[in-house]
Structure 1
Amino acid sequence: MAGQISEQGGGAVPGAGIGLAIVGCGTIGRIRAELAREHPALGWLGLCDLDDDLAAALATDTSADFVTGDYRELLARPEVSAAIIATDENEHVEPVLAAVERGLPIFIEKPLATDPVRSAAVLQAIEDSGVDAVVGYTQRFRRRFLAARQRIHDGRIGDVTTVVTRAFMNRMVPLATLARTEQRNGLTPMVVSGTHSLDVCLWLLDGLAGKDPVEVYARSDDRVLGDLGTLDTTLGVFTLADGSLWSMNINWALPTVWPGSVYGLEIGVVGTEGILDIEDTHRDTILAAEQPLGGGYQPKGFAPGAPRHVDFFGSYPPGDLHDGRLWGPMREETTTWLNRLLTGAATPHATARDGHRNLLLSMAMDLSARTGAPVRLPLTPQELT
């Protein structure tokens, strides 16, 4: 499927605003496209997905100017001046490299790749080309984390000695993610979802002396999701270069009826002169209803399999709906990126190097859990394959 949809869009030409290509029209691609369409600087919008119906529906809803099932065709369009890669986790590499070849600024949903060697190759291509590439780590745009990072870097709690991280996730995410692919070997709770809490912790400490991880020891369990080819939970302890300790724990096998639609996160940061205790579990606003509630993580073709009667507002990471529009951190993340394209201003987005680092560290946790032994860091991508 390919073609102009000029009757629905503005038919913009290069130089008349941002020409945005979005590869992948699923849950996140749809959100990004709808938010981008609201931006006054968007001049042209092109979409790509292998699912013709999915792409066509989004094209209609966003008045897209062009739609196709071939990412190469889309990224080669002369109108395109920036790209968002929002395909499934295993399918990022080729469209990213195609966008790099054209020299386009890119927003990449994490990870760069699910294979560490390919991730390194993507990072090398990005850095060699000099393109501006960011990776989607939406937690960085939650105000509580932005404020916490500022306080830490202002020295309000002194030198950080301990970080404690706990992530609880509804199993709807692994059930839906694994159903879309047979390539499940690298789709662990840490690689797919724990990477978000790992990233935000490293970002809180970014630039502080002695806070690079030098060792990790982890353990895992798979009693609930093992038959589907993934783990339930991974718990680990990182030792940082200055001897500080950081525990990083995730379980993404909570029942589908758990009120958290996706993510509940707690982070404690202890310093020599104070503490930051950050609760991002979303239990401050709770809806309970006799009739089953919609929402949660429900991409096309997936249903949770059990009615949900209680919901923690805000536990869907992109944000919450009001009057058909999404409000929350993904709006700020997407809009800030579009503004970055226009002004060149520095933003909190994760870099491609951050994304590659996060993959290696999450895979190092998985390696330690498999071997039952501590793993010295850093590791090369080859050591993790």
Structure 2
Amino acid sequence: MAKQQRKEIGLAVIGCGTIGRIRAEFARAYPGVGWIGVCDIKSDLGHKLRDDVDADFFTNDYKELLNRPEVTATIIATDENFHFDPTMLAIEKGHDLFIEKPLATDARQSAKILEAIEANNIDAVVGYTQRFRRRFLAIKEKLTTGQIGDVHSVVTRAFMNRMVPIATVRRTQDRATLTPMVVSGTHSLDMSMWLMEGKVPKSVFAQSSDKVLSEWGTKDSTFGVFTMEDGTIWSMNISWALPEVWPGSVYGLEIGIVGTDGVIDIEDTHRDVVLASNHEQGGGYVPDGYNPPPRHVDFLTSYPPGDLHNGQLWGPMREETNSWFQRIYAGQETPHATAADGHRNLLMTMAMDVSAKRGVPVALPADPEELMRELTG
């Protein structure tokens, strides 16, 4: 991205839940943001966020907000199933875009979003927060500079507490595409593909199990093996059905990357800082009305957005959000995932689900129409 003249940001935040709130709070503290409008269908959430960040405008109608002349940039932070309509309107208005993953939960809608972004030359990024953690930036640099040669074998494993899927699926009955890979495995998939940048997936074979979370309309685990066009093999798996007492707030990740000249072995399970206490520990995505059993052990720093200190959130989501403001305010290069990355990630995660359903490998890139026909038919 070329350097450009600094321009004051007029920001629209669509969705005032946990993530929308976090990013709006960062926006209020960023000097390049001159105007903030917020929107949510729940007035209580919206009014509270408006008051807390001293927003200039609140509405229940995203169209009303996105049509405001002050708005130059939009954050899409609604529930996963409701990204399409506000995103398309923001593209029509020419706004810079930050879209929480995924672009959409319908592969056909995701394709339409990407097509519109590219046709209108919109600068759009997707929320893959882990790219902004120091350890992964350091690893990316070593790979980019060829320190382990040509990568030929990769293993990725993600473990998650089951409160995340329960919190996700209980918000909607439209659950056909709210699977471990599409909703959460996409983060570890994006990280692995970013670290393997330049590798093009050719096919995937996957299998799933659903002994625990079938009552919630989703799977427990999905394991798959990708083959790349250059012969690189990559084993990718996620289980988001760990017991509620599992100490990790959200994500535990391990990645092994083997190249012709070396290896990088990543242990990102957060078991290096463990808290055990007589006091009950919270954290993670605990849905309203859901009462998990108490847990007294916690892996500190395992909440992906970051950690609270003195009433403020510190960590990768702060870096990611402020870097986006700097990107559109001053034209700074950033490591954000692009809309093309986001669409690719969705198709790959859905292809894993289709392969698991069929019991045979799926060729890549997959067709959005075929994916949706298979997953929702």
TM range (shorter): over 0.9
Q: Residue 379 of structure 1 corresponds to which residue in structure 2? A: 366
Deviation at 1:78, TM superposition (A): 1.1
Change (3 A) 1:206 1:302: farther
Q: Is 2:80 the counterpart of 1:89?
A: yes
Structure 1 counterpart SS, 2:264? strand
Q: Residue 279 of structure 1 corresponds to which residue in structure 2? A: 267
Q: Is 2:334 the counterpart of 1:347?
A: yes
Q: Deviations over 1:161-182 (max 9, x none)?
A: 1100000011111111111111
Whether the aligned pair in 2 keeps the contact of 1:90 and 1:113 (CA below 8 Å) is yes
Q: Residue 107 of structure 2 corresponds to which residue in structure 1? A: 116
Structure 1 counterpart SS, 2:169? helix
Whether the aligned pair in 1 keeps the contact of 2:245 and 2:295 (CA below 8 Å) is yes
- Aligned match of 2:143 in 146, 149, 152? 152
Tell me which amino acid in the other structure corresponds to 2:125.
Answer: V
Distance 1:212 1:353 in 2: 13
**TM value normalised by structure 1:** 0.94
Structure 2 counterpart SS, 1:216? strand
Q: Residue 251 of structure 2 corresponds to which residue in structure 1? A: 263
Q: Residue 312 of structure 2 corresponds to which residue in structure 1? A: 325
Deviation at 1:298, TM superposition (A): 2.9
* Relative contact order, higher structure (CA 8 A, sep 6+): 2
Q: How many residues align?
A: 367
Distance 1:243 1:361 in 2: 17
Please identify runs of 4+ aligned residues in structure 1 that moved more than 4 A: none
Q: Is 2:155 the counterpart of 1:164?
A: yes
Deviation at 1:16, TM superposition (A): 8.1
Tell me which amino acid in the other structure corresponds to 2:144.
Answer: H
Q: Residue 312 of structure 1 corresponds to which residue in structure 2? A: 299
- Aligned match of 1:290 in 254, 278, 282? 278
Structure 1 gaps of 5+ residues are: 1-14
Distance 2:289 2:122 in 1: 36
What does 1:212-223 correspond to in 2, within 5 Å?
212-223=200-211
Q: Residue 235 of structure 2 corresponds to which residue in structure 1? A: 247
- Aligned match of 2:186 in 192, 195, 208? 195
Distance 1:121 1:294 in 2: 39
**TM value normalised by structure 2:** 0.95
Q: Percent identity?
A: 64
Tell me which amino acid in the other structure corresponds to 2:20.
Answer: G
Deviation at 1:363, TM superposition (A): 0.4
Distance 1:229 1:298 in 2: 18
Tell me which amino acid in the other structure corresponds to 2:140.
Answer: R
Q: Residue 53 of structure 2 corresponds to which residue in structure 1? A: 62
Distance 1:304 1:144 in 2: 34
Whether the aligned pair in 2 keeps the contact of 1:297 and 1:316 (CA below 8 Å) is no
Q: Residue 228 of structure 1 corresponds to which residue in structure 2? A: 216
Structure 2 gaps of 5+ residues are: 1-5, 373-377
Structure 1 counterpart SS, 2:184? helix
Deviation at 1:313, TM superposition (A): 1.1
Whether the aligned pair in 1 keeps the contact of 2:213 and 2:241 (CA below 8 Å) is yes
Whether the aligned pair in 1 keeps the contact of 2:7 and 2:329 (CA below 8 Å) is no
Structure 1 counterpart SS, 2:19? helix
Structure 2 counterpart SS, 1:305? coil
Whether the aligned pair in 1 keeps the contact of 2:280 and 2:295 (CA below 8 Å) is yes
Deviation at 1:196, TM superposition (A): 0.4
